[in-house]
Amino acid sequence: MRIADMLARSKPSVSFEFMAPRDESEVETLERTIAALAGHAPDWVSVTYRVRTGEKTLELVTRIKRHYHIEAMAHLTCANTADRTRQILNWMEREGVANVLALRGDAPTAGEPFIPADPQLAHGSDLIALVRRSGYRFGIGAACSTEKHPESPDVEHEFRYMRLKVESGADFLITQLFFDNKHYFDLVARAREAGIKVPIVPGLMPVPSRRSLAVMTAMSGATVPAGLQAAIDAAPNDDAIRAVGVRHCISQCAELLEARVPGLHFYTFNRARAPMEILAALRGQQLLAS
């Protein structure tokens, strides 16, 4: 089923992002996380793409679909040539994958500039256009930022690329993580004023630790509200910080659901505990159906 169709329904979708394992040592943790979160009946999930182990993404997507009967979307990046990308898409089509998240992707080494494997695929919009003009029937998602991405010169630059992704054929957008809902609401308002009508799904992640927060903000460009930062600074250890992060994310989700967002997408980093606590709280407040 196409994810865009799920996002058009009256009730908000719940979805999770899983990270494809880098090696066998990460497989067991991931399997436990998938099993735990599958019990919370997500509408769909996504699986990240790793440059050196791209096949792990495809294997995981098909296993989730077959074993848990959950719609799973594969991330696809500009890490391959156009011909190799079509081979991957052909394989996905044969295996019954219905949705792809088309991304530029990150450089193999952090801090280095991104160098496309194929000049035809330098941006996420190029990948979206390739999927569309090649005649595939996939539902296509794309990423966007609610704030200035570290690689963008300004917010306007980021917004123009978001619009180009939609014009190239994206059916829906998922935001990078953010901690202040104002940024999300501002983005949606600007998008609607510009005639962008596709669903824009908020991407959320509770703060797990000081170290993780530093990494997350550096990668995404997300800013931390003063109140949240003060609570983190006052927390004595990472357990306390995790509790602060969960409470803040619950408040974010409650406000977003009251605003009738199309769904909630949780970046799990292959950990189930925080998303489960957040969903339990939202259901307890009757903001999500049990």
Minimal CA–CA distance to 33: which of 78, 68, 71, 81?
A: 68
Q: How far apart are CA 156 and CA 148, in angstroms?
A: 9
Q: What is the pLDDT of residue 240?
A: 97
Residue 53: what pLDDT? 47
Contact of 102 with 131, CB cutoff 8 Å: yes
pTM for the model stands at: 0.94
Domain architecture of the chain: domains with CATH:
3-284 (3.20.20.220)
17 catalytic per annotation: yes
pLDDT at res. 114: 75
Q: Which of 17, 71, 147, 158 is catalytic?
A: 17
**Buried (b) or exposed (e) across 25-61, using 16+ Cβ within 10 A?**
eeeeebeebbeebbeeebbbbbbbbbeeebebbbebb
Residue 182 burial class via C-beta count within 10 angstroms: exposed 0-12, middle 13-18, buried 19 and up: exposed
Tokens of 210: 């000081």
Which pLDDT tens digits describe the chain residue by residue (290 residues)?
A: 899 999 999 999 999 999 988 777 888 899 999 999 999 999 999 999 865 546 778 888 999 999 999 999 999 999 889 999 999 999 999 999 999 999 988 766 556 677 888 999 999 999 999 999 999 999 999 999 999 777 777 778 889 999 999 999 999 999 999 999 999 999 999 999 999 999 999 999 999 999 999 988 988 889 999 999 999 999 999 999 999 999 999 999 999 999 999 999 999 999 999 999 999 999 999 999 87
- The CA distance from 270 to 290, in Å, is 23
Strand ranges (DSSP E) for the chain? Answer: 13-18, 44-47, 71-76, 99-102, 139-144, 172-177, 200-204, 263-267
pLDDT of residue 52: 52
Residue 230 CA to residue 168 CA, distance in Å, equals: 42
Do residues 100 and 78 touch, judged by C-beta distance below 8 A? no
Contact 79, 106 (CB under 8 A): no
Which pair of structure tokens corresponds to residue 253?
Answer: 């989700």
Q: What is the pLDDT of residue 56?
A: 74
